[in-house]
């Protein structure tokens, strides 16, 4: 029961994180992101997938997608905290990319442990964008729920709420067969896969529902083994999404503090007023809790797998709550300007509001935690 005191965050992880900081500082200013994503403000605009493909290619060349892929599958085999640190920086930049989705797909493939899954992991290590198609139309986060069926490796039905679907080259699909849930890989541009983009609030990603019309897929976990793999990977997924919110929330906090230090009303900087100062300190307190829990969750996933679900759900609960809290305070304390499209804050607000629901919000995580820590209610 003894974990690394430093969460496993050593020299290599620091170097990787610092590379990410520099890359985002050079290529991903809030100004640039806003210019790239927020040209069309019309709520009824055509659904578009906007992102910088060249930057993604560069990231693939830097080996970021290989960070948590085992060395045996051509990856770097680094601890999950390394990916968490990368994603935290991506969250700070509101970076539009399939980085989180690809990481998440790689965790599920690793949990499958099959040769077919390892082949897919090799592609991810080489920079291939991937995503999970595991959610049903009702938006259930339970790993056994899917509207897709499989028969002899052929997929039928629709997967919903698929993240970064238009950016991904490969889909990892959960499908129900006669013997239970299995997992399948299929190319996103397969002729029998119909990707229908959702109109979503978050400008920094795309989402879709995907119809499979008799699509022939590669089995990576046999029917009956899929749920085990998804459950094993879920703590890593929750940790990574938490890290994204920790990063975005830090940007929201720092940007709002900066505004509170600049904006003058009643002859005083806004930050002078405790009605502004104290809630921003509360955001910081909640954020630091979420950050520590996120790094703990990532470390637990690697070093103490039996405690991984508990640690990850705690992290996701804390991160989801501070994501919503930091977002709301950022808009509120930016006042009139914060309510406008031209103020960059809405980009980060929307990313957090999307993430805080993904794979279950704070209440959902606490419901799961109570089942673990108290036991199921009678």
Using CB under 8 A, which of 285, 305, 337, 341 touches other proteins? 285
What's the min distance (Å) between Cβ of 276 and other proteins? 8
Query: By the 8 A CB rule, do 311 and 259 touch?
Result: no
Vertex 62, ends 58 and 65: CA angle to 5°? 95
Rounded-to-integer distance, Cα 163 and Cα 341, Å: 24
Identify which of 284, 281, 282, 303 has the alpha carbon closest to the alpha carbon of residue 292: 284
Interface positions, 171-230, toward other proteins (CB under 8 A): none
Q: Does 25 bind other proteins (CB under 8 A)?
A: no
Q: Does 272 bind other proteins (CB under 8 A)?
A: yes
Rounded-to-integer distance, Cα 142 and Cα 133, Å: 13
CB atoms within 10 A of CB 62: 16
Using CB under 8 A, which of 60, 226, 271, 360 touches other proteins? 271
Q: Does 265 bind other proteins (CB under 8 A)?
A: no
Interface positions, 224-263, toward other proteins (CB under 8 A): 257, 260-261
What's the min distance (Å) between Cβ of 323 and other proteins? 14
Dihedral of the alpha carbons of 241, 243, 249, 255, in degrees to the nearest 10 = -130
Using CB under 8 A, which of 3, 19, 114, 156 touches other proteins? 3
What's the min distance (Å) between Cβ of 371 and other proteins? 9
What's the min distance (Å) between Cβ of 304 and other proteins? 10
Which CB atom, from 203 or from 318, has the smaller least distance to other proteins?
318
Span of 108-116, 130-138, 193-201, 278-286 interacting with other proteins by CB under 8 A? 278-286
Vertex 197, ends 171 and 161: CA angle to 5°? 60
Span of 8-16, 51-59, 70-78, 204-212 interacting with other proteins by CB under 8 A? 8-16
Span of 66-74, 138-146, 215-223, 312-320 interacting with other proteins by CB under 8 A? 312-320
Q: How many residues bind other proteins (CB under 8 A)?
A: 49
DSSP strand pairing (170-177 vs 207-216) = unpaired
Using CB under 8 A, which of 115, 266, 274, 342 touches other proteins? 274
Rounded-to-integer distance, Cα 243 and Cα 100, Å: 10
**Burial category of 3 from C-beta neighbours within 10 Å (exposed 0-12, middle 13-18, buried 19 and up):** middle
What's the min distance (Å) between Cβ of 292 and other proteins? 4
Q: Does 314 bind other proteins (CB under 8 A)?
A: yes
Q: Within 13 A of 33's CA, how many CA atoms are on the CB side?
A: 26
Rounded-to-integer distance, Cα 35 and Cα 32, Å: 5
CB atoms within 10 A of CB 289: 16
Q: Does 290 bind other proteins (CB under 8 A)?
A: yes
Instruction: Write down the H helix ranges in the chain.
Output: 11-27, 30-37, 53-62, 80-92, 99-112, 115-125, 226-262, 274-303, 308-333, 335-338, 345-355, 362-373
Q: Does 298 bind other proteins (CB under 8 A)?
A: no
What's the min distance (Å) between Cβ of 106 and other proteins? 23
Which CB atom, from 136 or from 242, has the smaller least distance to other proteins?
242
Which CB atom, from 22 or from 216, has the smaller least distance to other proteins?
22
Q: Which residue has the tokens 């950022």?
A: 330
Interface residues with other proteins (CB under 8 A) are: 1-7, 9, 13-14, 17, 257, 260-261, 268-269, 271-274, 276-278, 280-282, 284-285, 288-293, 295-296, 314, 317-318, 363, 366-367, 369-370, 373-375, 377-378
């Amino acid at each position: 029961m003894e974990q690394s005191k430093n969460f496993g965050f050593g020299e290599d992880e620091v170097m990787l994180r610092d590379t990410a900081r520099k890359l985002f500082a050079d290529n991903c200013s809030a100004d640039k992101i806003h210019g790239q994503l927020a040209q069309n403000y019309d709520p009824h605009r055509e659904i578009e997938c906007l992102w910088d493909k060249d930057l993604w290619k560069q990231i693939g060349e830097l080996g970021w997608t290989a960070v948590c892929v085992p060395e045996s599958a051509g990856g770097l085999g680094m601890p999950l905290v390394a990916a968490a640190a990368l994603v935290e920086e991506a969250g700070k930049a509101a970076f539009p990319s399939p980085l989180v989705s690809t990481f998440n797909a790689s965790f599920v493939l690793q949990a499958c442990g099959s040769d077919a899954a390892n082949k897919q992991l090799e592609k991810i290590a080489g920079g291939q964008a991937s995503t999970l198609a595991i959610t049903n139309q009702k938006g259930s986060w339970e790993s056994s729920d899917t509207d897709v069926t499989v028969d002899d490796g052929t997929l039928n039905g629709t997967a919903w709420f698929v993240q970064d679907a238009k950016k991904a080259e490969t889909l990892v699909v959960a499908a129900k067969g006669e013997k239970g849930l299995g997992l399948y890989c299929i190319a996103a541009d397969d002729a029998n896969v119909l990707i229908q983009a959702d109109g979503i609030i978050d400008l920094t990603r795309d989402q879709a529902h995907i119809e499979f019309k008799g699509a022939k897929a590669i089995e990576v976990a046999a029917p009956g083994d899929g749920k085990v793999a998804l459950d094993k990977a879920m703590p890593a997924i929750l940790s990574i999404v938490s890290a994204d919110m920790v990063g975005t929330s830090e940007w929201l906090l720092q940007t709002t503090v900066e505004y509170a230090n600049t904006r003058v009303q009643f002859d005083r900087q806004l930050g002078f007023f405790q009605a502004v100062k104290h809630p921003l300190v509360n955001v910081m307190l909640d954020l630091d809790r979420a950050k520590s829990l996120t790094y703990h969750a990532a470390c637990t996933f690697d070093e103490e797998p039996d405690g991984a679900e508990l640690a990850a759900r705690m992290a996701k609960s804390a991160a989801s709550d501070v994501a919503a809290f930091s977002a709301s305070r950022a808009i509120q304390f930016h006042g009139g300007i914060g309510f406008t499209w031209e103020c960059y804050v809405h980009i980060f607000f929307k990313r957090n509001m999307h993430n805080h629901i993904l794979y279950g919000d704070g209440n959902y995580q606490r419901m799961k935690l109570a089942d673990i820590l108290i036991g199921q209610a009678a």
